[in-house]
Structure formats: C-alpha cells, structure tokens
Structure 1
Amino acid sequence: MTDAINRLAFWLSTPHQAMIEIAHEIGYRHVVLDIEHGLFDLEALDRTVALARALGLQVHGKVLGPETIPIQQALDIGCHSVIIPHIGNLAHATEVTRAAKYPPLGKRSFSGTRPAGYGGAGQAYFDGENANTRCFPMIESADALNDIDAILALPTVNGVFVGPSDLSLDRGRGAYSFSEADKADLQRIAAACAKAGKPWIMPAWTDAERAYAAELGAELLIVIDEYGSLKWGLSEAAK
C-alpha cells in the first residue's frame, strides 16, 4: 500500500484540519489545496499549510489565478509546489510562471517567512528554492495544449497539471466524459511530458481514469476530494 499511496493525493477545498490528519493516518503524503475555487483566506491557508508540512505532507497549492501575488503568497506560506490555473499560450505561460522562481530564472520576490525559516537568506536558499519548489501550469485550454511542448521547455516549469473538465469545454466538446477525444488529449500531454522529461499530474476520480493515467505515466493522481468524500460517506451511511 505504501508505494501505491505515495502516488495518490487528496483534494481540499476548505481548511479542514481533521481531514488532513485522517488522510495522513491512512497514509496519504500529498494534498492539493484548491485555493482557486475553495474557501481559503490567507490566515486559514497559513494554518492549513503549517499542519500539513508538520505532518510531512507535500503541499500543492492551486493558486487563485495566473498572477504574481497569488503565486508568491502560496510559496511564501510554504506550499511545496504551485498549480497555476487559466494558462493560455506560450507567451502567457512564460510570463506567469516566472513568479514561481527567483532571479535569474524568474521574478519571485523574497520574503523571510516559513520556507526561509523566518529570517534572512543566503544564495544557497534561493538556489534551493529554485531547484526544489515546483511549478505546474495547468493544461486546461486549447491554447495551452497547442503550445505544450514549448511550455514544458521553459526553465520555470517543472511539469504540468491537467484540468480535464475545462480542457474539454475549451476544446468545444462540452462536459468532460473521459471520451476517446478526452483520452487523446491525455495521450498528447503524456507524450509531451515524456519527451521533455517532466512529470504530469491530474485528478482521476474513477478507477478507469486512474488506470489510464497510470498507464500513461502520470506522476501523481488526485483520487478523492473533500466534498466528494463527505457526500459518499453520508450516502453510504444512509443505505
């Protein structure tokens, strides 16, 4: 179970500390915080990240949007990686992802917060952050998919996060249904990542999606979300 669960993540939309503790006890070691669509203010985000880090979880923050300040705030608070939504073409990705890396790679601004041990920092800190903090622009638009090879080649990009629902909508297919066209997009993304030697991540809510994404070499799969787990548990208890 240990090896398998290390490739799985759970999804939080609220600062649900008990769920973090329960997931950790079960064996999860990755959490995605949906700051974009969720209910995290900065204070709640700070508490949530602090707890997750203290338990040894890798924290992936899906930030509010493709802008410098939300990206910096997630990193300053201590997210190990940022997932950046609403990425467009290569030019857009180039500019936006610079916020995730310190100069000379990018334009991230220094703050002596949690990652810096609440103090100053020497060059080793900046080099370490650039090497270890991961930036995952989302592939959820036709423009991003069209430019995926060039986006993956950016030095500020460590991999990509697939947004299947929005990608299907933006590609004119309507609701995502894990159709053959959806699968073809995933194949295209997986092939581009393999060529670039960089990982990709996606939410895989069904067994079929999990098996397919694993076959294509996804590094991390988000397999359950906070609201879905509550709804499932309440429904099962009512049977």
Structure 2
Amino acid sequence: MQLATRLEAGETLFTAWSGVPDALTVEIVAAQAFDAVTLDMQHGGHHEDSVVRSILPVMHAKKHPVVRIPVGRFDMASRALDFGAEAVIAPMVNSVADARQFAAAMKYPPVGERSWGPTYAFPRQKGSNFNAWLADMNARTVSFAMIETRAALDALDGILDTPGIDGIFVGPADFSIAWSNGSTVDGTLEDMMETIASIARRARDAGKHAAIYVVDPNMVGRFVSMGYRLMALGGEPRYIALGAETLLKAARGSMG
C-alpha cells in the first residue's frame, strides 16, 4: 500500500530519520519497525548519490522512502521522485511562491511542471505501463511543505491552497527559534503548542496532511490529538545510543 493511501485512510505513521549517507546503514534502519524512512539532505549528510542508492533498501524492507531536500532545491524534489521516493519534504517554504515552485517540481502537468523521466522509480515500483503511471503518479506522490517560520505561518492558508501541495510538515526546532525571536531552541516549547495545534487543524480543514518532527516521543499522543498523522522520530545517533544504553544496562545489571 502506498504512503499516500495510508495517509488518506487516516493512519498514524512513524518515519525514521536518516542522516548517515550510507546505503548499508539505511538498510539497518529500514529493518526496524518504522513505517517509512526519511533521507535527510538538509541537515543530514545525504546527497544525490546516497539517495539514489539508499531508496532501494528502504523499498526492499517494504517501507516508504521519503526525502527531505535542501533549502530551495526544488529540482531535487523531481530527482528524488525519479529515484523512487514516495514523498518529499521541502524545508523553509515561507511563501505561496515557494509552495508553487515546490508543487511544480512534484507534479506532472497539468498540475505542475515535473519533467518526464522516472529512470529508477518506474522499474523499482514495478511499473508496467507509462500511461497508467502518468495517470496515477500525481496522486501517489506526497508533497510536504515545511512550516517553521513566522512568514510561513502568515502564508499558511495560501500554501495550503496551492494546487500540488499535499500537506505540511512542522519543524518545531526552527519554529521555536522564530516563535521566541531567536532566544531559544526548544521543539517542546509549551507556549507555541496552541499554534502548533492550529497549524494541524487548518491543514486538516483544507483536506491536507499534517506531519511533524517529534523531539520527545512522549508527546506523540498529544500531536495525534491535534491532527498530526506522520511523525518523524530520532536519527541514527539516537537509535545507536538508546540501543547501546539498553544493552549495557542489561549487561551490567546481570552482574548484580
């Protein structure tokens, strides 16, 4: 089942977050009990070569491949889709103009301006007919515009109304910096939670998906109640640290 279909059905899904640009590491991450794996090109180390190579082990693990592109690299959105990504997250979409550029790269005409050439995606996703692929692909690819600044918040309704934008993805760390006028970075900042909730509500009212990066997993239930349905959790350093902590605690505990 496609990521788009599961989101439309209202499932709550969890994506791993990968910043290590190595397909073998991604293979290990994809084997864990996440629904999707996001390859981060913005703050993570992923690049075009690692993305094209890392999407395949994600697909082999029957997980949904997602890519976060660098700021302003809307051309990379099309490339990520051509590599086989099901969804793309675009950071710092701060205006309707940004949203239109992102949507244009994500969708084939007449919705957008995505160029034809699914060199890797077509065989990887078991395509058999180009015309059927073309007819389905705009609905199957999910575009998430990141909302993480006051400018983006001000432009939210216009971003949500942009044809080809399927959802928003809140970056709470950057949002907290904007919210506090640069005085703190805290993705769990309590006095911005009402606004975080309103972003999800406005997205859902517009018929769009709401996703968020979760700093503290104990907040997932709260975010779900707000309307968020795709949650990003952790990253390789955190997965390794938690695993090592668990193993060492058990080992040391066994010695009394």
SS in 2 for 1:221: strand
Superposed displacement of residue 233, structure 1: 3.3
CA contact (8 A) 1:161 1:202 kept: yes
Aligned residue for 1:106?
112
Identity %: 26
Q: Which among 163, 166, 170 is matched to residue 162 of structure 1? A: 170
Q: Does residue 1:12 correspond to 2:18, yes or no?
A: yes
- Contact 1:9–1:224 (Cα < 8 Å) also in 2: no
Q: TM-score, normalised by structure 2?
A: 0.82
| Whole-angstrom distance in 1 between the partners of 2:160 and 2:205 | 9
- How many residue pairs were aligned? 235
CA 138–53 in structure 1, closer or farther in 2 if over 3 Å, else same: same
Do structure 1's residue 132 and structure 2's residue 140 form an aligned pair?
yes
- 2:238 paired residue number: 228
Equivalent residue in structure 2 for 1:194, among 204, 209, 214? 204
Q: For 1:48 and 1:104, locate their aligned partners in 2 and report how far apart those are by CA, in whole Å.
A: 30
Q: What do residues 216-235 of structure 1 show as CA deviations (whole Å, max 9, x unaligned)?
A: 12111112211212233345
CA contact (8 A) 1:112 1:120 kept: no
> Match of 2:189, as an amino acid?
S
8 Å contact kept, 1:100–1:106: yes
DSSP-derived class of the 2:219 partner: helix
The residue type equivalent to 1:14 in the other structure is: V
- Structure-1 separation of matches of 2:131 and 2:44: 35
The Cα of 1:115 is off from its aligned counterpart by 2.0
1:180 corresponds in structure 2 to 190
SS at match of 1:79: coil
Higher mean alpha-carbon deviation, 117-126 vs 29-38, is at 117-126
Q: Which deviates the most, 197-206 or 119-128?
A: 119-128
The separation in 2 between residues aligned to 1:219 and 1:169, in whole angstroms, is 24
Residue type of the alignment partner of 1:95: Q
The AA in structure 2 aligned to 1:174 is T
- Separation in structure 1 between the aligned mates of residue 36 and residue 120 of structure 2, nearest angstrom: 19
The range that moved more, 164-173 or 48-57, is: 164-173
Match of 2:149 in 1: 141
The question of whether the paired residues in 2 share the 8 Å contact of 1:11 and 1:222 is answered with: yes
Residue 97 of structure 1 contacts residue 137 of structure 1 at CA under 8 Å; is this kept in 2? no
Please say if residues 20 and 26 of structure 2, whose CA atoms lie closer than 8 Å, have aligned partners that are also in contact: no
Kept in 2, the 8 Å contact 1:20–1:52? The answer is: yes
Corresponding residue for 1:80?
Answer: 86
Distance 1:154 1:145 in 2: 15
Greater Cα offset, 177-186 or 140-149: 177-186
RMSD: 2.4
The answer to whether structure 1 residue 50 and structure 2 residue 60 are counterparts is no
User: Normalization by structure 1: what TM-score?
Assistant: 0.88
Q: What secondary structure, in the 3-state scheme, does the structure 2 residue paired with 1:117 have?
A: helix
For the 8 Å contact 1:6–1:30, the answer to whether it is kept is no
Look up the match of 2:161: 153
SS for the counterpart of 1:157 is: coil
What 5-or-longer segments of structure 2 have no aligned partner? 1-10, 250-256
Confirm or deny: 8 A CA contact 2:176 2:192 kept in the other structure.
yes
